[in-house]
Structure 1
Amino acid sequence: MNTPSPAGRRTRPLRAALTGAAGALGLTIALLASGTLSVAQDRTDQGARELGEPDYGVCRGVDPRCYHDWGNFDASDGFRVLLYTRTAGPRHANLGPALAPGLNPPLTDANTVQNGVLRMGRDNGFQVDYTEDVSRLSSPAALFRYDAVVFYSTSRDALDDAAQTSLRQYVRGGGGFVGIHNAFGTEYNWPWYEGLLGNANFYDHGPAQPGTVRTVNRKDVSTRSLPASWSFSDEWYNLVPAPTRVRVLAEVDESTLAEGTAGNYRHPGHGDDHPVAWCHYYDGGRAWLTTLGHDARDFSTDGSFPGAAEFQRLVLGGIRSAMGQAPFCK
């Protein structure tokens, strides 16, 4: 069996004080052999380093051979996504009040995320169902009705055993997954899910504050209409571990964060290499991720909140590519 190459693997440079040429040479050889050190990177990262790079026992990375095109989705039926916003811990204000059981229960104006994604679907040719009822994820057959599943600021143990199994089988059958903001604060103790996030997990964040987002890849459908840099306000998640074997699409320029990068649990930030959006293939499926999306004003349409339009274009492209309506992870 051919094993996809780790061409898209994300690596982080190291700084180490070494004594003796023999010690330096030995360490360098060991790091190169393990893939921890990249000879292609020559910049010095001032942020957190050595955050781990576990192997989840699945095909993952940016090689499309990791994708399972097994005929579970038919574009002639149109495109449909399931938005899941269940919280079993902290609840972001932009989710509004908790939803009643079932599929597509009544919404209030305060359910900003749900209303925003519904509008996005109406305006761009795909149907959106939404729920916080874990029983709606109880079988792979239920999930295979959807071209992508979107977790938006879910929290803690938002899935039971049946839903965990269903999500894994859905992804393995070629399903699309989109994880937004506190999807990174979900299912902490499930290694497979951490891998789905790109080998990444939320650790902490500093003050919510304005910053500059750099669009580092402008070939992907989610970023090609974005400027090279744009202003935005968010919580700027610090991650442990930090993503590997992914295609990074956007980063925050930490030098523009006036209140600093250190999180409430003392994470120092990621220095020159602080990703906020990325994509990869994982265990047969497609996964598009962003740590952005904290503020209800992210879904404003009147131009009053800097970066809202760019954020919405970013998320729209991520959803469209994850569900196969547009090319994925270019």
Structure 2
Amino acid sequence: MTAIVSAAAAAAVTVLAVSVPAAANGDRAGARSLGTPDYGVCRGAKPQCYHDWGNFDLSQGTRVLVYSRTAGPRHANLGPALAPGMNPPLSAANVAQQGIVRLGQENGWTTDWTEDVAQLSSPSRLFDYNVVIFLSTTRDTLDDAAQTSLRQYVRGGGGFVGIHNAFGTEYNWSWYEGLLGGANYYDHGPYQPGTVRTVDRHDVSTKDLSGRWAFADEWYNLVPYPSQVRVLAEVDESTLARGVAGSMGHPGHGDHHPLAWCQYYDGGRSWVTTLGHDAAAFASPPVSPGAAEFQKLIVGGIRSAAGAAPFCR
């Protein structure tokens, strides 16, 4: 698939636009993204939309903050809700958080974690981190102070990574929807195996992946469909045995059903994936089909969003 790049939405930035097939824009009967959402910021796959203001120092290594607060349904791989404060004890059931911490240990970054929204209320606190990860957060997981803090952090050149149900978060905040690539969760079909296509193998997050690899997930359907982003991986819908229609009857996305993509957004970097439903995807050693590939994918996404590797290339 041809990478999708943008015309920047602000600051009179001119970016070459690449045409894509109608299906790549979700243009399938009943599955179209109606209208053209405008988030009022500079966004796209070109670095003109990045604020390189020198707010982050990698000389002391990469620092990562994992935020997994749920204000609605909670994925089982998050385990029980965490105690307030920074770095509360993790149990064996907090599989996803433990997995990100372990990947940091293996790849040379320092990880803090929290589900305490007060820890995100200060922009100066967030600027201590090279990347902030929303790990299967749900619903209105931020209060007003934390929303402002996250926006100021991104505008200052911060890195954002959204994993799985980060797409089920802050539904009514349009700026956040834009941060996800102008995309939002609609529904999903049954959890089932399928085949992932790595459609762009030039990015740090995908360069070591096979062209096709097995994985099992819920295969989120998205409305709006992501726009002005560089798509990195898709699911081959023909490999889904029971289809992708969810409980509300979404017909899927046809030939181009994106799973991971990147963009510059409002001064910062955003790398996101809808994958990551099952605890087995985060386990060590990675024994379930595709778990090793999934972990390589998110490691590359975290490193590039943090500025420790080239981003969205």
TM-score (norm: length of structure 1): 0.88
> Counterpart of 1:197?
180
> Counterpart of 1:123?
106
Structure 1 pair 274–52 and aligned structure 2 pair: CA distance change class (3 A):
farther
> Counterpart of 1:175?
158
**Residue 94 (structure 2) aligned to one of 106, 111, 122:** 111
Structure 1 pair 147–303 and aligned structure 2 pair: CA distance change class (3 A):
closer
How far the C-alpha of 1:75 sits from its partner, in A, is: 1.2
Task: Give the aligned residue type for 1:312.
Answer: Q
Q: Percent sequence identity over matched residues?
A: 69
Matched, 1:152 2:161: no
Task: Give me the whole-angstrom Cα distance separating, in 1, the residues matched to 2:163 and 2:67.
Answer: 11
Task: Give me the whole-angstrom Cα distance separating, in 1, the residues matched to 2:163 and 2:312.
Answer: 16
How far the C-alpha of 1:155 sits from its partner, in A, is: 0.1
Structure 1 pair 5–265 and aligned structure 2 pair: CA distance change class (3 A):
same
**Residue 306 (structure 1) aligned to one of 277, 286, 289:** 289
> Counterpart of 1:143?
126
Task: Give me the whole-angstrom Cα distance separating, in 1, the residues matched to 2:101 and 2:33.
Answer: 40
> Counterpart of 1:3?
13
Between the two proteins, the alignment pairs up a number of residues equal to 302
> Counterpart of 1:13?
22
Matched, 1:325 2:313: no
Paired residue secondary structure (2:297):
helix
How far the C-alpha of 1:304 sits from its partner, in A, is: 2.8
Task: Give me the whole-angstrom Cα distance separating, in 2, the residues matched to 1:47 and 1:301.
Answer: 40
Task: Give me the whole-angstrom Cα distance separating, in 2, the residues matched to 1:217 and 1:81.
Answer: 25
The structure number with the bigger radius of gyration is 1
Task: Give the aligned residue type for 2:296.
Answer: R
Q: List alignment gaps of at least 5 residues for structure 2.
A: 1-10
TM-score (norm: length of structure 2): 0.93
Paired residue secondary structure (1:289):
strand
Q: List alignment gaps of at least 5 residues for structure 1.
A: 15-35, 38-43
**Residue 232 (structure 1) aligned to one of 198, 201, 215:** 215
Structure 1 pair 161–316 and aligned structure 2 pair: CA distance change class (3 A):
same
> Counterpart of 2:234?
251
* Counterpart contact for 1:215–1:227, Cα < 8 Å: yes
> Counterpart of 2:298?
315
Task: Give me the whole-angstrom Cα distance separating, in 2, the residues matched to 1:52 and 1:183.
Answer: 23
RMSD: 1.7
Matched, 1:48 2:36: no
Task: Give the aligned residue type for 1:3.
Answer: V
How far the C-alpha of 1:213 sits from its partner, in A, is: 0.1
